[in-house]
Amino acid sequence: MEFLKKIFSTKAKDKDIQLPERYPENSIGDFYVENQVCIACGAPEAEAPDLIDHSKIEYGHCYFKKQPATADELDRAISAMEVSCISGIRYGGKDKVILKRLYDLGMQTECDYKLEDLE
């Protein structure tokens, strides 16, 4: 019953929101692949092969082996989010410029934090 209360609660605060679980091989940073949310389609890796790879430990699961550090890498990370067929790639950061960009692309559901909550 507690589970249903959390789902339907209209008073959820930032500390009450449970963030998605990150796949353990992800590099530390804002972009990540959600744990158990990968079907090995290969599309994100094709968009950002320098950032995303397939696990050598668990068959088929992709992960961020490196976080974007340049504008070009950020573009590729966002492109990888766009082509992810099951929306398994997420942005867990609070950078308002990146969040605005993701919102403009219609990917607000792949963001851990809401832009309006940070303003």
- Let me know if residue 108 belongs to a domain: no
Backbone angles phi, psi at 104, to 5 degrees: -60, -25
Q: Which CATH number is 79's domain given? A: 3.30.70.20
Domain of residue 64 covers 21-93
- Let me know if residue 118 belongs to a domain: no
At residue 15, the pLDDT reads 55
Q: How many domains does the chain have?
A: 1
- Let me know if residue 73 belongs to a domain: yes
- Let me know if residue 110 belongs to a domain: no
Instruction: Say if residue 33's pLDDT is above 90.
Output: yes
- Let me know if residue 10 belongs to a domain: no
Instruction: Say if residue 14's pLDDT is above 60.
Output: no
At residue 36, the pLDDT reads 87
Asked if 66 and 36 touch (Cβ cutoff 8 Å), the reply is: no
Q: How confident is the model at residue 16 (pLDDT cuts 50, 70, 90)?
A: low
Q: How confident is the model at residue 7 (pLDDT cuts 50, 70, 90)?
A: very low
Please state, in angstroms and rounded to a whole number, the distance separating the CA atoms of residues 18 and 30: 16
At residue 4, the pLDDT reads 34
